[in-house]
Amino acid sequence: MKLPKLTPMTPMPPIARSLLAVLAALALGLSGCSPQDAADDKTPMAKPALPYEAVATQGTGFTVGAMMSANTVYVLFDPQCPHCGHLWEASVPLHGKVKFVWIPVAFINAKSGPQGGALLSAANPAALMAEHEKSILAGGGGVSAIAAAPMEINKAIKKNTQLFNSLGVESVPYIVGKNLRTGQVVTNTGALSTAALAELLGVN
């Protein structure tokens, strides 16, 4: 049997290869902020079978949005993560429909824990979070941390970080909630647009 003649592929121009590499890097960079080896506490924990229930019962955060809503959406975030800042901004237009609980974890750098403590201790967490994320996205490093957070606040952030590690999630922001239309638990790792977030949560 005569085999068909194979036509050699045209080599990809160097500029095209470089462009593909840049696009791939950008795509990876947009996914979220990863802990890698930065987490302070590596205490082994069993991965929860039900992440929604685990986060709802074990996480400590501050609540913003539709306070009377029976459907709560949880967001684990590191205060030093710019992707978390983008998700915060995307979530603001949904505050009239969704109750969000933002749960700070700490693994990116030394500012993560103290800034998380400042947010948990704030009289108006939503206002401070808006100021903080605006600073993060502008490259300003975020709001100043309180000099010495109460011991229970530090313990809460440490426990939040252990919870995050136990979930086996690779990066923040991590969303876990229930779709309002279907009642099904939904999760997402990384930032989303307002439209995509609304679709995930079934509120569009």
Looking at per-residue confidence, does 17 or 175 come out higher? 175
Q: Is the pTM of this model over 0.85?
A: no
The residue-averaged pLDDT of 57-62 equals 98
**What is the spatial distance between Cα 142 and Cα 165, in angstroms, rounded to a whole number?**
24
Residue 188 phi/psi, 5-degree rounding, is -155, 140
pLDDT band at residue 80 using 50, 70 and 90 as cut-offs: very high
10 Å Cβ neighbour count for 189? 18
Identify the pLDDT of residue 124: 96
| Number of other residues whose CB lies within 10 A of the CB of residue 168 | 10
Band of residue 176 on the pLDDT scale cut at 50, 70, 90: very high
The pLDDT-based confidence of 197 (bands split at 50, 70, 90) is: very high
Domain ranges (residues) in the chain: 32-201
Q: How far apart, in Å, are the Cα atoms of 144 and each of 105, 111, 152?
A: 17, 9, 19
3-state secondary structure the chain: CCCCCCCCCCCCCHHHHHHHHHHHHHHHHCCCECCCCCCCCCCCCCCCCCHHHHHHHHCCCEEEECCCCCCEEEEEECCCCHHHHHHHHHHHHHCCCCEEEEEECCCCCCCHHHHHHHHHHCCCHHHHHHHHHHHHHCCCCCCCCCCCCCHHHHHHHHHHHHHHHHCCCCCECEEEEECCCCCCEEEEECCCCHHHHHHHHCCC
Structure tokens at 173: 């922001």
Q: 40-49, 99-108, 120-129: lowest mean pLDDT where?
A: 40-49
| Fold classification of 32-201 (topology level) | Glutaredoxin (3.40.30)
Q: What are 124's strand-pairing partners?
A: none
